Chains A and B, each alone.
Chain A
Amino acid sequence: MSLFREIISGNRQSLAQCLTSIENEDDNYHFLSEIYGHTGNAHLIGITGSPGSGKSTILNSLVKLMRKNDDNMGILAIDPSSQFTKGAVLGDRIRMQDLLGDKGVYIRSMATRGALGGLSNAVAGSIDVLDAAGFDRIFVETSGVGQAEIDIAANSYTTIVVLLPGAGDSIQASKAGVLEIADIIVINKSDYSHASLTKSHLLEMLDIASHSHNIDNNSINSSKNIWSVPIVSTVATSGEGVDELADNVYSHYKYLCDTGELEVRRRNRIRYIYRLLLQKQLYTRLENILLEERSIQQLELLMQGKNDPYTAVEHLMKWFDTH
């Protein structure tokens, strides 16, 4: 049986080995191009937030709840690799005890392996494999991120941003970054003090954002087409508020389908992947050019002052245009 057949027939071991081969960047171009035609059916959901904000614990309760409606759910849980030793502790499963042993849930822990943005380079390919394997909803949990890691939005259709009470004031809430990519905001650990203050700062921020959005798109969108970002307060350890979060995930997906926004996001994701692959190939080519004899000679000319780097690059770019 071909690897692809094994995967869609539900063989978890083949699925897992396939994701390893994507992580290890083995030569799997033919396989990935074979499955591409079977992708595009899953609802991709990203969950991001700072370290310790409760992303894994929320997923534990959320996926357990959503399993009542979905047969197959996949989770890619990313944790950071050490820049020094390349090692990693992948501890997201620990928080997902309620999902272990559930045959309808596949959890895969992944290390960032030097990638920035809270993801691993294997995420895009792994999502496609899970999608082709027939998973209805695929969650990607980023490693703990700070303010500006927004790659998750390019890899998902619904992005959940998890915040903590008391983590910053109204100025923090108005900064650019992860809050801009949120389709749903969760204030987790909302039994802590300051939770209501945090919520009011965020509401104020969202109110301003939706107001300016309305002005910008006045003539294009009628107001019913605009998604207003909900703020859900949760206590993930007890499951409080998670039903409201699940409702919002469903209604966001409905919004995406009803308004055609899903197609827009699919297009963005494909463009992102296309760009990533192209970038990687071009970068390898660039590295090779730098090793070529002409580059070494060019460097010598630059050292002797017989040429300058600006002119050298201009000439090289002209050479590219004609080759």
Chain B
Amino acid sequence: MMSSPLRILVAKPGLDGHDRGAKVVVRALREAGMEVIYTGLRQSPSMIVEAAIEEDVNAIGISILSGAHQILVPKVMEILFEKDLGNIPVFVGGIVPENDVEELIDLGVVGVFGPGTSTSEIVRVIRDAIS
């Protein structure tokens, strides 16, 4: 039987209203045969985790351009671990200074995609992390 499509949540946390990047990634993942649930703007960390649970997704992508990644990403990770969902791979995309990347990886984030990352690279890393 053919394998079922992967389900991916793409989320925009916090007050940052810029989602061109998130929409590009949503389209790229769709083109790669995935089912992408986009939350829309201004989600709280707990709303993101709730959506991931309700939609039973294989991975979560968080898009942040506001610079608040050091506050919002740890919060999402904390709630995920609290609910025993640490096995869901989490990715971060957006403007993340190089020095902060390691900090996010230490929290359990699987990949951080900065400006200029090709969409095929994003698809590859997500597929690898899920399989």
Contacts and interface: CB of A to CB of B under 8 A. Distances in A.
Contacts of B43: 100
A86 B33 contact: yes
A85 B35 contact: no
A89 B7 CA distance: 10
B110 interface: no
Nearest to B27: A89
A93 B30 contact: no
Contacts of B5: 81, 86-88, 111, 113
- The binding surface of chain B is classed by DSSP as mixed
Contacts of A82: 30, 33
Given A13-B53, A113-B5, A87 B34 contact: yes
A24 interface: yes
Interface stretch (A101-109, A245-253, A261-269): A101-109
B48 to A, nearest CB: 10
B31 to A, nearest CB: 6
Interface stretch (A15-23, A176-184, A233-241): A15-23
B54 A107 contact: yes
A89 B36 contact: yes
B35 A111 contact: yes
A25 B2 CA distance: 11
A89 B38 contact: yes
Contacts of A113: 5
A93 B35 contact: no
Interface string B5-39: 10100000000000000000011011111111111
A17 B5 CA distance: 14
B55 interface: yes
A100 B50 contact: yes
A93 B51 contact: yes
Contacts of A17: 56
A108 B51 CA distance: 9
A214 B38 CA distance: 47
B4 interface: yes
Contacts of B53: 12-13, 16
A113 B34 CA distance: 11
Interface residues of B, number: 30
A97 interface: yes
B130 interface: no
A185 to B, nearest CB: 28
A25 B50 contact: no
B55 A89 contact: no
A19 B1 contact: no
A146 interface: no
A36 to B, nearest CB: 22
B67 interface: no
A85 B29 CA distance: 10
A113 B29 CA distance: 16
A97 B40 contact: yes
Interface string A86-100: 111111011101001
Interface in B33-67: 33-40, 43-44, 46-47, 50-51, 53-56
Question: Closest 5 interchain pairs by CB?
Answer: A94-B40, A16-B56, A87-B30, A24-B4, A20-B56
Interface of B: 1, 4-5, 7, 26-27, 29-40, 43-44, 46-47, 50-51, 53-56, 83, 85
27 contacts: A13-B85, A16-B54, A17-B56, A23-B4, A24-B4, A25-B4, A82-B33, A85-B33, A86-B5, A87-B30, A87-B32, A87-B34, A88-B5, A88-B30, A90-B37, A90-B38, A91-B40, A93-B37, A93-B38, A93-B51, A94-B39, A97-B40, A100-B51, A106-B54, A109-B35, A109-B55, A111-B5
